[in-house]
Amino acid sequence: MFKFISVSAFVLIGIIVSGCSTTPPKVLEKTAIVNPTIDGYPVDNCMTWAKNCRKPVADYLCRQEGYSFSINHTIKKIHPTKLVSGKICDAHYCAAIDYVECGRYK
């Protein structure tokens, strides 16, 4: 029982001390990218053919706009699309990123 009390007291002291920090909290800045394109084509949801799909592409698009990461994204079935690698997808299974929410901490 003594160990439990001492650990609890240590955790409580840590919480109190961390709550007194003089470092201001980081602010999350957000932006949205709607219907991104590469050379006039909707951006395919994969970086390369059937690899590194969805989140990697959303993150890439955010970094291109000066943001650190993607928070959310949506895709839609459409063709033709252009992959980040430069290839064109013109088949019924192609899909494009049509919305990306980006974030960065300041």
From its phi and psi, is residue 75 left (phi > 0), alpha (psi between -120 and 50) or beta?
A: beta
Share the mean pLDDT of the chain. 86
CB 41 within 8 A of CB 82: yes
The whole-number average pLDDT for the span 4-17 is 43
pLDDT of residue 20: 57
For 73-84, what is each residue's pLDDT tens digit?
A: 999 999 999 999
For 13-61, what is each residue's pLDDT tens digit?
A: 444 445 556 788 899 999 999 999 999 999 999 999 999 999 999 999 9
Percent of the chain clearing pLDDT 90 (strictly above): 75
pLDDT of residue 58: 99
pLDDT of residue 23: 80
The helix/strand/coil state of 38 is strand
Instruction: Inform me whether the pLDDT recorded for 2 exceeds 50.
Output: no
